[in-house]
Amino acid sequence: MAAEFDTSHVKNVVLLGHAGSGKTTLAECMLFEAGLISRRGSIEERNTVGDYHELEQERGNSIFSKLMHTKWRGYKINIIDTPGYDDFVGEVISALRVADTGVMLLNASMGVEVSSDVIWQYTEQFKTPMIFAVNKLDHEKADFDKTVQQAKQHFGSNVVVVQYPLQQGEGFHCIIDVLRMTMYKFKDAGGKPEKLDIPEEERSKADQLHKELIEAVASNDESLMEKYFDKGELDEDEMKSGLKKAMINHDLFPLFCLSAERNMGSGRLMGFIDNVCPSANEMPAQITKSGSPLPCDANGPASIFIYKTISEPHVGDMSFFKVYSGTIKSGMELVNETTGASEKLNQLFIVEGNKRNNVNELSAGDIGATLKLKNTHINNTLHDKGKNIELQSIQFPPPNMSIAIEAAKKGEEEKLAAALHQLKEEDPTVLVEVSSELRQTILYCQGDMHLAVIKWKIEHLHKVDVKFSRPRIPYRETIRRMSESVYRHKKQSGGAGQFGEVHMRIEPWFEGMPDPIGLNVRGRDVHELAWGGKLVFYNCIVGGAIDQRFLPSILKGVMEKMNEGPLTGSYVRDIRVSIFDGKMHPVDSNDISFKIAGLMAFKQAFQQADPQLMEPIYNVEVLCPEDITGSVMGDLQTRRAIVEGIDSEGNFTKVIAKVPLAEMYDYSSSLRSITQGRAKFKMRFHEYIAVPFEIQRKLTDEYNKVAKEELVA
C-alpha cells in the first residue's frame, strides 16, 4: 500500500512559545477541527492528546516535545508541540531541526516573553519559515497592538499583520482578515465562524493593513512588484505565492489571531498552513556533512534522520525520524552512516501523542517513528546500502547547572549508572561525568526544572532513589615565589635499603620566562597537564650527583604530588621544577627512593613558596526585562560577581558578569525566584584566578581537618 500522503501534501509544523502561551491547547484545537478527536481536552482536566505524560499532568505544563498530526483538506499536517521553559530547550531545538514551519504563539496579555526571544535565535539559525499567532485575545488584559509592537521590536519589521481582533478581552469573538478582506465571527463555543463583510467603521484600518501586507509581499518579489505597480493590487493567489516565497527565504512572518481555549481562529491558521506554508520539497535541499545537497524527493535514495529517542516501559526505545529522501517501507534495511551498523525497520508508525498507528510506507518529507533500533542514536542518519549520506547534526547548548548525584542506597550504583546512561540517550542536553578529581559523579543539566524531571524519571521509571549534593569545586593550586628544598629519603631495615637525596628549586611558571638563574641547564621537558597549565621540568645536575636514570622517578614523585596538592588536595599547575643537586648510594639508591625524595622535596618547597589557591571563574550572561535588572545585578554582587557591563538584546537587558563557580550553586532556582521565571542565563568557563585570602585559609583549614580525621580513622 502506497503512502497515504505524497511529499507535496505533507506539512511539518512546530508549535513554539513561552510557557503558558497556549501551544498544547492550540494543538488540541487543530486535532478537534480536523475531526481526529471528538472532544477537546484541557490542561486543567489533564486530558489533552499532547500532555499525556503523568509528570506533565502533575505539573500542568509541557516538558517533552510531542508528535501529532491532522488531516486537513487533502493535506497531512504533522504537529510537534514543544515545551516553553528554557530548561527544556533541547526538545525545542530537535523539533525545529525537522520542522518546515514554526508557529510562534504570543500571549496577548503578556506580550513577548524571554523564552520567545531565546527560541527566535534558533529559528534564525535554522532559517525556519515562521508564523506568529497572538493567542489569548479573550483574556481581560489582552493587548493586541502592544504585542504586535513588541513582536516588531524583537523580531523585526518583517512581522506583518494578516489578522487583527475587532474587539479583545472577554468580548472577543470577531477576527478581521486583511489577506482575504473578510471578517470571521465566532459563536461563544468557537468552531466554524460566520464569514461577513468588514464593518464600514473598520474599512479604512483594514484597507491600510491590506495595503501594508501587499507592499511587504511585493517588496520581496520583483515580478509581484511589477504587477502591483501595473494593477495597484495583487489577488489572493498572487499574495499567497509571494508569502510562501518570502517565508521560505525567512523574509516575512505573517501574524494571526487566536483564542485557542475558545477554539477561535485555529481553522483559518490550518488553512494558511496547508495553502501557503512550504512542504519539505519546497524548502532548500538539505546539505550533507560532505557538502552535497540532498533533495527531498520520494524517488531519491532512502534517507532518514533521527531527531528524538524515548524509552517506553514494556516497549523499549522508540526513535522518531524525518524522511529526508526516498520512500521508507516497513521491513526495509538501512545503514547507519555513523556506526556502520545495519538496522531493520520492522515497524513504521505515525504518532498521535501516546498512540501509535502502524503504516507501511512514509514518503520523503514525512515524520514517523520506529522501534528497537539497536545501534542508532539521536543525530544519526540511516540510508540505503551503498550510499554515503550523513546529515548535519543538531547542535545542543551546553549545560547551565551541575550537581553531584549518588544512589541513596548502597549497592544500587550500577542501577543508577544504567539510568543515567538511558537519560543521556533520550536527552543530549544531559551530561554525566564520573570525576576522579572531585571523587563525585557530576550531573550537568539546563536548570532546576530540568533537574526535577531527571530526578522524577530516575526514581519513578528506573526505581532508584537518589541523593543530590553540592558539587565540589575543581580548585587549582600554584605558587607565587621561588623556593628551594633538600630532602633525603633513607630507609634501612635489613637487606637492601633505600636512599635518595634531591635538591630542588621550584618557581611560578609563565610563558616566555628565561632559564633558571645560576643553574647549569642540561635538559628541559615541558608537560602539558591534563587539567590545564604546565609543569616545566629542568635537569640542572652537574658532575653526576644523581644518575640520569633516576630523573624520571623524581619527575614521577613530583607529578604524584601535583595530582593532590598540599593545600586542598587539588591539582597543581604552572610550576617550574629544577633539580640541581643531590646524592645517591651505590647499593641502596633505586627508583622508589628517588620518587619519594622528589615527592617530599616538592611538597616541602611548595609550602615555602607562598602557595596560592586558584578558583574557576565563569562568564555569566543574564537576559532579563529591564524592570528587574537591578534585582539581578544585586543578587550577582552577593555572589562575588564582577559585573562587566549591561547590553541590550532585542527588548531585553543583558547583564554580563564574571562569577566564581563556587558562588553559582543554586543560581538557576534563585534567578527564577527573583524574576518570576522572566529571565534566563548562560555560563561558560573563562579562567582560573586567585582565591581571596580569607577563603583560601578557610578551605585549607577544612582540608587539613578532614585529612587529620581520616588519619585517625
Q: Answer yes or no: are the C-beta atoms of 541 and 535 closer than 8 Å.
A: no
Residues 173 and 272 in one domain: yes
Final residue of a structural domain among 282, 306, 329: 282
Which of these, 305, 13, 250, 246, lies nearest to 126 by C-alpha position?
250
| Residues paired with 261 in a beta bridge | none
Final residue of a structural domain among 239, 263, 282: 282
Domain-located, residue 149: yes
* SS3 state at 209: helix
Which of these, 563, 541, 560, lies nearest to 551 by C-alpha position?
541
What does the pLDDT look like over 529-574, one tens digit per residue?
Answer: 999 999 999 999 988 899 999 999 999 999 999 999 989 999 999 9
* SS3 state at 412: coil
Domain-located, residue 2: no
Task: Answer whether residue 493 shows pLDDT above 80.
Answer: no
DSSP readout, 603-614? Answer: HHHHHTS-EEEE
Which of these, 106, 98, 111, 76, lies nearest to 16 by C-alpha position?
106
Domain-located, residue 4: no
Residues 329 and 365 in one domain: yes
Residues 62 and 163 in one domain: yes
What does the pLDDT look like over 214-245, one tens digit per residue?
Answer: 898 888 888 888 887 878 788 888 889 999 99
Q: What is the pLDDT of residue 189?
A: 83
d(CA 597, CA 599): 6
Domain-located, residue 160: yes
Q: What is the pLDDT of residue 55?
A: 66
Residue 169 maps to which CATH number? 3.40.50.300
Q: What is the pLDDT of residue 43?
A: 64
d(CA 117, CA 477): 41
* Angle, helices 413-426/448-460, rounded to nearest 10 degrees: 120
Q: What is the pLDDT of residue 50?
A: 62
Q: Mean per-residue pLDDT for 399-410?
A: 93
Q: What is the pLDDT of residue 543?
A: 86
Domain-located, residue 713: no
Of 56-70, 288-302, 437-451, 471-485, the range with the lowest mean pLDDT is: 56-70
Domain-located, residue 451: yes
Residues 113 and 86 in one domain: yes
Residues 370 and 417 in one domain: no
Q: What is the pLDDT of residue 45?
A: 62
Q: Mean per-residue pLDDT for 320-346?
A: 94
Residues 313 and 343 in one domain: yes
Residue 409 maps to which CATH number? 3.30.70.870
Higher model confidence: residue 433 or residue 51? 433
pTM metric for this prediction: 0.85
Task: Answer whether residue 53 shows pLDDT above 70.
Answer: no
| Residues paired with 524 in a beta bridge | 538
Q: Mean per-residue pLDDT for 672-701?
A: 91
Residues 238 and 115 in one domain: yes
Domain-located, residue 228: yes
d(CA 79, CA 101): 10
**Set of cell numbers at residue 497:** 635499603
Residues of the chain with pLDDT > 90, as a percent, come to: 71
Residues 358 and 378 in one domain: yes
The beta strand positions in 99-186, using DSSP E, are 101-107, 130-135, 159-161, 163-165, 174-177, 182-185
| Amino acid symbol at 370 | T
Q: Please provide the average confidence, as pLDDT, over all residues in the chain.
A: 91
Residues 262 and 300 in one domain: no
**Set of cell numbers at residue 246:** 518570502
What does the pLDDT look like over 506-536, one tens digit per residue?
Answer: 999 999 999 999 999 999 999 999 999 999 9
Number of separate domains in the chain: 5
Residues 458 and 357 in one domain: no
Residues 237 and 320 in one domain: no
Task: Answer whether residue 412 shows pLDDT above 80.
Answer: yes
Q: Mean per-residue pLDDT for 113-128?
A: 86
Q: Mean per-residue pLDDT for 653-670?
A: 93
Q: What is the pLDDT of residue 239?
A: 87
Residue 546 maps to which CATH number? 3.30.230.10
* SS3 state at 73: coil
Sign of the CA dihedral with 212 first, then 213, 214, and 220 last: positive
Q: What is the pLDDT of residue 713?
A: 53
Domain that holds residue 231: 9-282
Residues of the chain with pLDDT > 70, as a percent, come to: 95
Final residue of a structural domain among 383, 415, 438: 383
Residues 440 and 459 in one domain: yes
Q: What is the pLDDT of residue 1?
A: 43
d(CA 322, CA 370): 11
Q: Mean per-residue pLDDT for 293-319?
A: 89
Residue 634 maps to which CATH number? 3.30.70.240
What does the pLDDT look like over 68-87, one tens digit per residue?
Answer: 988 888 889 999 999 988 88
Domain-located, residue 701: no
Instruction: State the SS3 of 326-383.
Output: CEEECCEEEEECCCCCEEEECCEEEEECCEEEEECEEECCCEEEEECCCCCCCCCEEE
d(CA 624, CA 653): 5
Q: Mean per-residue pLDDT for 591-618?
A: 96
Given pLDDT bands bounded at 50, 70 and 90, which one contains residue 712?
A: low
DSSP readout, 516-576? Answer: PTTS---EEEEEE-TTSSEEEEEE---TTSS-GGGHHHHHHHHHHHHTS-TTTSPEE-SEE
What does the pLDDT look like over 148-158, one tens digit per residue?
Answer: 999 998 898 99
